[in-house]
Amino acid sequence: MTYNLLKGKRGIIFGALDHDSIAWKVAEKAHEEGAIFTLSNTPLALRFGEINELAEKTGAQIIMADATSVSDLEKVISQSMEILGGKIDFILHSIGMSMNVRKGKKYDELDYGFYHKTLDVSAISFHKMLQVARKLDAITEWGSVVALSYVAAQRTLFRYNDMADAKAMLESIARSFGYIYGRDKKIRVNTISQSPTLTTAGKGVKGIDSLIDFTERMSPLGNANAEECANYCVVMFSDLTKKVTMQNLYHDGGFSSMGMSLKAMKMYNKSIDQAIENGDFEFDD
Ligand SMILES: NC(=O)c1ccc[n+]([C@@H]2O[C@H](COP(=O)([O-])OP(=O)(O)OC[C@H]3O[C@@H](n4cnc5c(N)ncnc54)[C@H](O)[C@@H]3O)[C@@H](O)[C@H]2O)c1
């Protein structure tokens, strides 16, 4: 069902790589809800070719950019205003990458070059995006900017590694910039903290299947999938959420508020005793 929630709105969607990407689903939903927008991703991502299919389907133009480059972001934002015929109403930052995760570097053995890259790609790029948009006066009053986060910003989740630090920083940028942008221009800045999801980035986290299984069982409503996340993003871009800003909004079936569930409590002692008895209890980090 569609509601025309974004009728007449112009946007920029960063981070659609393939059919699994959260940004891909957001583009599909935003299109269905009446928005026009541009798509942006890195030259490498464009070489995979799938984004052309999304562009065709949604009538969007693609603008290549490395989101860590201020000049690339200036190009994306100014060209988007030209292409779409006016200021921008919404921006999605759906970008994350850690070479430490990819290369299996543990948190107490981080490569600092990779660490800087993680923070630049996954968090500082959000600041750059906001700063460039503000400098160009590119976003309309009551416009909405959303970045995607993860509960590892608040809680330690094994193997999420330096991405946890990036997400904590991302959420802090949303608050700090949200204050300035709200005060001066009535522009909203929020993060949506999404359940673990099987995307290219998600699959990069070793053991993601177990994590997905765990959060599915621990969340009263179960995990939220990418399409459901896209629905939430659309609502955040719409005029129905005009007074929501500087928030980290959990979209995780209730996981972030859980401590122990009845099911988990019942299983916990039983399975640990069993594992010790079997002699197969190993700590592996
Ligand atoms: N998948 C999950 O479990 C999950 C959970 C919570 C939050 N998130 C967040 O959602 C966002 C989108 O990830 P996804 O799960 O859809 O995976 P994805 O791999 O489909 O998307 C990640 C995107 O980041 C882009 N990217 C990487 N480096 C870039 C750069 N330098 N400049 C511009 N773009 C760059 C990639 O090309 C890709 O399109 C990320 O911020 C991710 O951390 C994902």
Residue 168's pLDDT band, with cuts at 50, 70 and 90, is very high
Which residue CA neighbors atom 22 of ligand 1 most closely? 95
Does ligand 1 lie within 6 Å of residue 118's CB atom? no
Query: Which of 28-37, 95-104, 151-160, 258-267 bottoms out in mean pLDDT, i.e. has the lowest?
Result: 258-267
Q: Which protein residue has the closest C-alpha to ligand 1 atom 35?
A: 95
pTM: 0.95
First to last CA, the chain: 45
146 within ligand 1 shell (Cβ under 6 A): no
48 CB near ligand 1 (under 6 Å): no
Alpha-carbon distance 159 to 107, whole Å? Answer: 8
Calpha distance 279→273 (Å, rounded): 10
Q: What one-character DSSP code corresponds to residue 60? A: P
Q: Which residues pair with 92 in a beta bridge?
A: 13, 146
Residue pLDDT, tens place only, 211-243: 999 999 999 999 999 999 999 999 999 999 999
Tell me if 145 CB under 6 Å of ligand 1. Answer: no
Check whether 281 has a pLDDT greater than 90: no
Q: Is the shortest distance between the CB of 41 and ligand 1 below 6 Å?
A: yes
User: Given a cut of 80, is residue 282 above it in pLDDT?
Assistant: no
Q: Would the CB of 40 count as within 6 Å of ligand 1?
A: no
pLDDT tens string 44-66: 999 887 999 999 999 999 999 99
Say whether 148 sits in a helix, a strand or coil: strand
CA dist., res. 253 & res. 23, Å (int): 20
* Ligand 1 center from residue 200 Cα (angstroms): 8
The pair of three-digit structure tokens given for residue 33, joined into one six-digit string: 């809800």
- Res. 277: pLDDT tops 90: no
Mean pLDDT in residue range 3-24: 97
Strands 61-64 and 88-93: unpaired
Nearest CA to ligand 1 atom 24: 95
Three-state SS for 111?
Answer: coil
- In the three-class reduction of DSSP (H, G, I as helix; E, B as strand; rest coil), residue 253 is classed as coil
Domains of the chain: 10-258 (3.40.50.720)
The least confident of 114-123, 125-134, 142-151, 259-268 is: 259-268
In the DSSP assignment, the letter for residue 241 is G
196 lines ligand 1 (CB under 6 A): yes
Q: Is residue 273 over pLDDT 80?
A: no
Length of the chain: 285
Which whole number is the average pLDDT over 149-176? 96
Average pLDDT in the chain:
95
What is the model's pLDDT at position 205? 81
Query: 267 pLDDT exceeds 80?
Result: no
